[in-house]
Amino acid sequence: MERDSRIFVAGHRGLVGSAICRRLAAAGYSHLILRDRSQLDLRDGRAVRDFFAAERPEYVFLAAAKVGGILANSSRPAEFIYDNLAIQTNTIEAARLSGVKKFLFLGSSCIYPKFAPQPIREDALLTGPLEPTNEWYAVAKIAGIKMAQAYRAQYGFRAICLMPTNLYGPQDNFDLATSHVLPALIRKFHEAKVAGDKEVVIWGTGSPRREFLHVDDLADAALHLMLHYDDPQMINVGAGEDITIRELAGLVASIVGFQGELRFDPSKPDGTPRKLLDVSRLHSLGWRARIPLRQGIAGTYQWFQSQALESVVK
């Protein structure tokens, strides 16, 4: 990939796409091709093929997807399976037809079986039943991995697949009904602190364990692998350590400065008990996560506050 290569970052307004754009810009890549949803609906196959034929991107980072936390995933299964299948099918096929040189597909750690041995190695894929709260999203992402591998096998299409763990960072979704846990906790503790509330309710029992990776680390890994990895086997991208939701809540509360009580609500789903990725393959390729969790959360809280301030000024 040259500094003036034509690079399409699909989903550039989202958490992942915006981080990939920042990373590419910092590395001097100057020809980014970007379209928001109103300009190009990736679920529309004809529109996607026309776009690729006209713009002829050479490299593609597919960061566009329908994503959400445990509640959004379990309450809108049809959207999660349809949107993701359509987005990735259209984009991979149009990229192949228009002669894209290399394509990066992003999956998720939830593609692995609910009770996969921990830490989860890449070869655990399809060895057991999925976690029911996100099986629709997971099935779509598994189809994307298999499509990338099939296209490589039959057409020599150079697609690589990254499986990131739970991500967080600036540009995340802070809507409490649809977000992931980390932005939800930042918002809940911030609002409770401002309102002087005595307690904050956390979903589930607090015992599930999750691994969190700052999205700037993911973007750095994505660039590294786009440049140095070219293999049909997918590759896990994680931080290498996990914590319980209870520990995470304590950490976020201390960063935000909330001093009240934490109340757990076991009527809400816990989801999978644990999903820590085995990142030995990634480490062997010379890449490691660098942003410590406390520092990453503090930066994300700063970003959240700057957005809140901006919406007041507007």
Active site residues: 137
* Beta-sheet pairing, 159-164 with 235-237: parallel
Interface stretch with ligand GFB, choices 5-13, 94-102, 199-207, 217-225 (CB under 6 A): 199-207
Can you tell me the distance from the alpha carbon of 101 to that of 198, in angstroms, rounded to the nearest whole number?
A: 56
Residue 151 found at the interface with ligand GFB (CB under 6 A): no
Per-residue binding string, ligand GFB, 255-294, x by CB under 6 A, is: -------------xxxx-----------------------
Q: Of 60, 160, 184, 255, which lies in the binding site for ligand GFB, with binding defined by CB under 6 A?
A: 184
How many whole angstroms separate alpha carbon 115 and alpha carbon 37? 36
Q: How far is the CB of 66 from ligand GFB (least distance, A)?
A: 10
Residue 194 has a CB neighbour count (10 Å cut-off) of: 11
Per the listing, tokens 């939800």 go with 184
Interface pattern 28-67 for ligand GFB (x via CB under 6 A): ----------------------------------------
Q: Which is nearer to ligand GFB, 10 or 81 (CB)?
A: 81
Which of 170, 198, 231 has its CA nearest to residue 21?
Answer: 170
For ligand GFB, give the closer residue by CB, 73 or 90: 73
Q: Is 190 in the site for ligand GFB (CB under 6 A)?
A: no
Confirm or reject binding of residue 110 to ligand GFB (CB under 6 A): yes
Among 44, 222, 236, residue whose Cα is nearest residue 121: 236
Q: How far is the CB of 306 from ligand GFB (least distance, A)?
A: 22
Q: Is 4 exposed, middle or buried (0-12, 13-18, 19+ CB in 10 A)?
A: exposed
Binding part of the chain for ligand GFB, among 2-10, 92-100, 132-140, 291-299 by CB under 6 A, reads 132-140
The one-letter amino acid code at 239 reads A
Q: What is d(CA 62, CA 92) in angstroms, rounded to the nearest whole number?
A: 9
Question: How large is the C-alpha radius of gyration of the chain?
Answer: 19
| Cα 101 from Cα 65, distance rounded (Å) | 22
Q: Which position among 108, 142, 148, 162 is part of the footprint of ligand GFB (CB under 6 A)?
A: 108
Distance of alpha carbon 97 from alpha carbon 150, whole angstroms: 15
The answer to whether residue 300 forms part of the interface with ligand GFB (CB under 6 A) is no
| H/E stretch holding 221 | helix 215-228
* Binding mask of the shown chain, residues 233 to 252, with x at each position contacting ligand GFB by CB under 6 A: ------------x-------
- Residue 111 C-beta: closest distance to ligand GFB, Å: 8
DSSP, collapsed to helix, strand or coil, labels residue 313 as helix
Position with the least CB separation from ligand GFB? 69
Select from 96, 152, 180, 190 the one that contacts ligand GFB (CB under 6 A): 180
**Does residue 73 interact with ligand GFB by CB under 6 A?**
yes
Residue pair 110/65 in contact by the 8 Å Cβ criterion = no
For ligand GFB, the closer of residues 230 and 265 by Cβ is 265
Torsion (CA) 244, 260, 202, 251 in degrees, nearest 10: -30
Which residue ranges make up the site for ligand GFB (CB under 6 A)? Answer: 69-70, 73, 108, 110, 133-134, 137, 166, 179-181, 184, 202-204, 208, 210, 245, 268-271
